[in-house]
Structure 1
Amino acid sequence: MSVYPIIMTQSQFTHRDNLHYPFEERGLQFGDGIYEVIRIYHGTYYLLDEHVDRLFRSAEAIKIKLPFNKEEITHLLLELLERNKMTTDGKVYLQVTRGSAPRDHIFPADVLPNIYAYVGDQPRNLELLQNGVQTITQRDIRWEYCYIKSLNLLPNVLAKQAAKENNCYEAILHKDGLVTECSSSNVYLVKDGTIYTHPATKNILHGCVRMAVERFAGELNIPFIEESFEVEEISLADELFLSSSTSEITPIVKVDNLDIADGKPGKITRQLQEAYETDAKIQENNTKHTV
Structure 2
Amino acid sequence: MSRTVYLNGDYLPEEEAKVSIFDRGFLMADGVYEVTSVLDGKLVDFDGHLARLERSLSELDIEKPAAFDDLLEIHRELVARNNVVEGGVYLQVTRGSAGDRDFVFPDPEVVKPTLVLFTQSKPGLADSPAARTGIKVISIDDIRWGRRDIKTVQLLYPSMGKMMAKAAGVDDAWLVEDGHVTEGTSNNAYIVTGGKIVTRDLSHDILHGITRAAVLRFAREAQMEVEERAFTIAEAQGADEAFITSASTFVMPVVEVDGVKVGSGAPGPVAVRLREIYIEESRKSAI
Provide the TM-score with structure 2 as the length reference: 0.94
2:32 aligned to which of 31, 34, 50: 34
- For 2:113, the equivalent position in structure 1 comes to 113
Q: Decide which of 7, 10, 28 is 2:8's aligned counterpart.
A: 10
The aligned residue for residue 132 of structure 2 is 130
Q: Does 1:100 align with 2:97?
A: yes
Please name the residue that 2:282 is paired with.
280
Change (3 A) 1:68 1:25: closer
**TM-aligned CA distance change 1:160 to 1:182, over 3 Å:** same
CA distance in structure 2 between the partners assigned to 1:4 and 1:193 by the alignment: 49
Looking at structure 2, the residues matched to 4 and 149 of structure 1 have their Cα atoms a distance apart, in angstroms, of: 28
Q: How does 1:49-198 map to 2 (within 5 A)?
A: 49-68=47-66, 71-84=69-82, 86-101=83-98, 102-109=100-107, 110-123=110-123, 124=125, 126-198=128-200
1:44-76 Cα deviation digits (max 9, x unpaired): 111111111111111111110113475422222
User: Residue 51 of structure 2: SS of its match in structure 1?
Assistant: helix
Identical counterparts, % of pairs: 33
Give 2:40's aligned amino acid: H
Cα deviation for residue 8 of structure 1 reads: 1.2
* 1:263 equivalent in alignment to 2:261: no
Amino acid across the alignment from 1:96: V
- Structure 2 portions without partners, runs of 5+: none
Q: Give the Cα–Cα distance (whole angstroms) in 1 for the partners of residues 268 and 81 of structure 2.
A: 41
Post-superposition offset of 1:81: 1.8
**Letter of the 2:204 counterpart:** K
- Mapped contact 2:2–2:13 kept (Cα < 8 A): no
In the aligned structure 2, how far is the partner of 1:175 from the partner of 1:69? Answer: 39
Contact 1:4/1:120 (<8 A) preserved: no
One-letter code of the match for 1:185?
Answer: N
Q: CA deviation at 1:173?
A: 0.8
Match of 1:241? 243
In structure 1, how many angstroms separate the alpha carbons of the residues matched to 2:243 and 2:33?
Answer: 24
Change in Cα spacing, 1:21 to 1:251, as seen in structure 2 (3 Å) is same
**In 2: Cα distance, 1:176 partner to 1:96 partner:** 32
Q: Is the contact made by 1:9 and 1:117 (CA closer than 8 Å) also made in structure 2?
A: yes
User: Conserved in 1, the CA contact under 8 Å of 2:36 and 2:43?
Assistant: yes
Q: Distance in 1 between matches of 2:233 and 2:133?
A: 23
Letter in 2 for 1:52: L
Residue number in structure 1 paired with 2:212: 210
Instruction: Give the Cα–Cα distance (whole angstroms) in 1 for the partners of residues 54 and 197 of structure 2.
Output: 29
Matching residue of 2:20: 22
Instruction: Provide the C-alpha distance between the structure 2 equivalents of 1:71 and 1:89, rounded to a whole number of angstroms.
Output: 24
Equivalent of 2:230 in 215, 228, 231 = 228
1:80-139 alpha-carbon deviations (Å, 9 max, x no partner): 22333x242111111111001210000011101111101121122621111101110111
- C-alpha distance in structure 2 between counterparts of 1:57 and 1:15, whole Å: 30
The 2-side partners of 1:51 and 1:70 are apart by 13
Distance of 1:51 and 1:122 partners within structure 2: 19
CA drift of 1:4 comes to: 5.5
Distance in 2 (alpha carbons) for counterparts of 1:115 and 1:68:
9
> Structure 1 stretches of 5 or more lacking a match?
none
Corresponding residue SS for 1:224: strand
Q: 3-state DSSP class of the match of 1:99? A: coil
